Amino acid sequence: MGRSADLPRSSGEIDGDDTGCHVLHVDMDAFFASVEIRARPELRGLPVAVGGTEGRGVVAAASYEARVFGVRSAMPMGQALRLCPRLVVISPDRKAYTSTSTAIMKIFAEFTPVIEPLSLDEAFLDVSGAVGLFGRPADIARQIRRRVAEDQQLTCSVGVATIKSVAKLASGSCKPDGLRVVSAAGLADFLNPLPVTALWGVGKRTAEPLRRLGIRTVGELSVTPLDTLRRAVGNATAIHLYELANGRDERVVSPREEEKSISTDRTMNSDLLTEDDVARELLRGAGEVAERLRQAGRVARTVGIKIRFADFTTLTRVRTLAEPTDAAAVVYAESLQLYRGLKLDQPRVRLVGVKAENLRPAGEATQLALDLSGPGPARRPSGAAEHAIDALAARFGESVVGPASLLRSKTADTPTGGLNRHVPRRPAQ
């Protein structure tokens, strides 16, 4: 993937001839951080980061005020705090981001059914069938931006172009809170000055051989003989980059296929040394995965785990269930059995992950739940208690109810001291 941070930026509207520019790329501005600031207006204008609060925690998102200090996503939080000692750090609220994303995607759907989400905070839209109803593509982009601002009190940036790769670059170049149209005739003028690292598919590994060839801009890449590129980066990558550099991208906006798996993993602040510690993390992960299954109206036939050790060795295991489930107790019990099946001797576990796959609509089969106080499985109604817990969490916040065994780990994860370093999460309103 290219690096959007390498794009030269100019916020605001840069309009132009949008004839044939049926592709929009809508990208929310500092999404996670902006959702948190929306919930806490007193933080507006302050440097804010969302992410892990101590140890191996990393920055998941940073407000633009924090980016001025060099704070970036995927940066270790310790480094971010050194760059910006006054940084306000907030632990992530996945529910808030998911619900806000759902509301934003519904706004997009009011203008076109052809939506390709890339993540919670960005999507491609094909508006070729919407021009007759809502006006030219740039006008549709403005209406979307206005609706998002009015309904969600958030800003987004929109790129308008003839192809997906350029629409994405255009949205990145007008952040934050901007709109940019790149006309069919203006593709070369827009692309040629950009750093080659801005292109899709140019990461560190690909950028180095290009640099050795003296290729630093997209314009230089566009006139490099294809055979030269093949020798440097291989045939498939050479063709891909040459086409993008010359403004050619055959990919169409394609609505995403239904989610095939749901997973979560967590890197520990310090290595886990006992089975009890790992079991608590499996319980945490099982609860999150099961909750997301229920929110999606899905059940899973397969449960899996991912365990990464201190030396970064990673093991994965999966198991197919007799009946599909969305119950945390079942997911946890199967996960724990998979872990115990590894038969580890004094492990030092760095990361614990839980996964549910082989998904299908809920209600297709009676679920198995485990009576953890006894040796065998017991049938029960399909997760009524856990649905009640979901409702309580939605009303009063995630911390209102949960497994008692997680209480100690929640307390231990809460940092202390440090001005503006951590903001406690408020209950949902």
The verdict on whether residue 345 carries a ligand-binding annotation is: no
CA of 193: how far to CAs of 4, 215, 216, 236, 423, in Å? 14, 12, 9, 24, 42
122 in active site? yes
Partners of 315 in the beta sheet? 307
Q: What is the dihedral of CA 77, 79, 80, 81, to 10 degrees?
A: 90
Coil, strand, or helix at residue 423? coil
The first and second tokens of residue 19, run together, are 């004839």
Tell me the C-alpha distance between 201 and 204, whole Å: 10
With 0-12 / 13-18 / 19 or more C-beta atoms within 10 angstroms meaning exposed / middle / buried, residue 413 is middle
Name residue, tokens 């449960």: 303
3-state secondary structure of 14: strand
- State the Rg of the chain over Cα: 24
Residue type at 270? Answer: S
Q: Tokens 């230089």 appear where?
A: 220
Give me the catalytic one of 36, 122, 334, 386: 122
27 labeled binding residue: yes
Q: CA 264, CA 285: separation in Å to the nearest integer? A: 6
Q: Hey, which bits of 155-235 come out as E strands?
A: 156-161, 179-181
261-272/298-309 β-pairing? unpaired
Residues making up the annotated binding site are 27, 121
Residues making up the annotated binding site for Mg(2+) are 27, 121
What are the residue numbers of the active site?
122
